[in-house]
Amino acid sequence: MKIFSIIFLLFLTSCAFETPAEFSEKALNESLISIQNETIVFNEIIKKYQGKKVLINIWASWCADCIRSLPEMKKFQKANPSVIFLNISVDENPLAWKIGIERFQILGEHYNLPKGMKNGDFVDFLNLRWIPRYIVVDENGGISLFKATKITDKAILAAIKTN
């Protein structure tokens, strides 16, 4: 019984640490809303920034940890001006999302996942259970860093600096 338990535990932990190198087709085809209220597919957003490093910040205006991380995010942005900062909100209320951007003066590009944090192919792909969540996308649209939950995580800077 102990051996079975150990094998089962190893199986669970190995699944939990999956780190894909690219976005799934379903995630790439997820529709987001731009700050101008236009629908855009995630793949189009990623293609728009091809040739540049992109730091994706998954956040929400109601998320206390997201708001607390913003001063460090602003320092990170200032120290890394060549990086594209792509903020994707999981707010289900578009007005709250837009007020949050203005109120907290969040810099970068802004999009919204109107289905929220628990529904949709993009959040399913990310296995999103906690925000903020940071993802680094390389110049070719591949995933350099799949999961960080603190902007101060040294893995973010390492992924940004990697060629």
Check which CATH number belongs to the domain holding 71 and give it.
3.40.30.10
Q: Is residue 8 part of a domain?
A: no
Alpha-carbon distance of 88 to 120, in angstroms, equals 14
Alpha-carbon distance of 117 to 144, in angstroms, equals 22
pLDDT tens for each residue of 109-122: 999 999 999 899 99
**pLDDT given at position 3:** 58
Alpha-carbon distance of 83 to 53, in angstroms, equals 5
Count the domains in the chain.
1
Q: Is residue 150 part of a domain?
A: yes
Omega into 71 within 30° of 0, i.e. cis?
A: no
**pLDDT given at position 134:** 97
Weakly modelled stretches of the chain, pLDDT under 70:
1-18, 163
**pLDDT given at position 11:** 45
Nearest one of 156, 9, 128, 143 to 59, comparing CA atoms: 128
**pLDDT given at position 18:** 65
Q: Is residue 15 part of a domain?
A: no
**Structural domain containing residue 65:** 21-161
Structure token pair of residue 111: 């999009």
Q: Is residue 65 part of a domain?
A: yes
Q: Is residue 9 part of a domain?
A: no
Q: Is residue 32 part of a domain?
A: yes
**pLDDT given at position 5:** 47
Alpha-carbon distance of 145 to 19, in angstroms, equals 8
Q: Is residue 134 part of a domain?
A: yes
Q: Is residue 71 part of a domain?
A: yes
Contacts 24+ apart (CB under 8 A), 149-152: 150/69, 151/57, 151/69, 151/72, 151/73, 151/76, 152/72
